[in-house]
Amino acid sequence: MQTSPAKTAVLLIDCPDRKGLVAAIVNFLVQKYDINILNADQHQDAELGLFFMRVEFATEDPLCTQQGFHDAFDPLARQFHMNWRIEFAHAQQNVAIFVSQYLHCLADLLHRHQTGEFSCNLSLIISNHENARALADFYSIPFHHIPVNAETKPQIEPQQQALLTDHRIDLIVLARYMQILSPTFVQAYPRRIINVHHSFLPAFVGAKPYHAAFARGVKLIGATSHYVTEHLDEGPIIEQDVARVSQNDQLPALIQKGRDLERMVLSRAVQWHLDHRILSYANKTVIFA
């Protein structure tokens, strides 16, 4: 067989659970493309009777391309009623960041991208304020200031979407973007918009969760990263983290602790999405190790 430089890919599958799934998938990969499995993980949801699998593999077969794999794997996928996709490591995703006035998450994402933690093309930053321009310029990322409010949103969102289309954006990250996206906007990017919310959802939804948590006298605060859906703060949760607080923490200290959590849960969610480690179902997610 003619060989080419080794390429790596990730195969993601979800389907009804049944015997023989793992054997069928692995046998196909080995027999068809003589693969070397680099990582494999699986999960069963016994209540819903569903099976989930992620296989990361390497192959030197030149016929293992996006279209070639689709044509070869489709009969097996139909047999087992699979939802599936194949992602090749060389195909970097194009990412856009939306931000408003709070810049801590944006600064963290930009630093991680510059240091090589995120394997992606950070294509542009869109903001309804000028605050982030200096950071964007420092990291040499194109910056677009597009003011928006509830009244102008129907006219502004098409401008934003035109920019996203021009840059072939695969993933949108809302790094404390304090505007609610319209259902039409969200539906154009299903499971491709990640938001960070400054509370441990489903507690304290809405605009001022830290103030609500402080008023309630909680002992733990949290932050949540999730996929955006048409329902505010109710999309599939990707990652969460918490920090302990006490009566000695006044509101500013509580907010600062929360912002540290926001950075971490958002960066983890972005990393896992870029690494194709997330499968979403029934408003939940499976995160593969």
Residue 207 has pLDDT above 90, yes or no: no
The DSSP secondary structure of 108-141, one letter per residue, reads HHHHHHHTTSS-EEEEEEEESSSTTHHHHHHTT-
Task: State pLDDT tens for residues 43-63.
Answer: 999 999 999 999 999 999 999
Residue 3 has pLDDT above 80, yes or no: no
pLDDT of the residue at 208: 87
Tell whether domain 93-287 is in CATH 3.40.50.170: yes
Mean pLDDT across the chain, nearest whole number? 95
Identity of the amino acid at 223? A
Task: State pLDDT tens for residues 100-142.
Answer: 999 999 999 999 999 999 999 999 999 999 999 999 999 999 9
Look at the domain 7-88 and name its fold.
Alpha-Beta Plaits (3.30.70)
pLDDT tier at 5, thresholds 50, 70, 90: confident
Distance CA 184, CA 186 (A): 6
Q: At what angle do helices 21-33 and 66-79 cross, to 10 degrees?
A: 150
Percent of the chain with pLDDT over 70: 99
Which positions are catalytic?
A: 233
Would the pTM of this model clear 0.85, i.e. be above it? yes
Task: State pLDDT tens for residues 139-179.
Answer: 999 999 999 988 899 999 999 999 999 999 999 999 999 99
Distance CA 174, CA 180 (A): 10
Domain-by-domain residue ranges, the chain? 7-88, 93-287
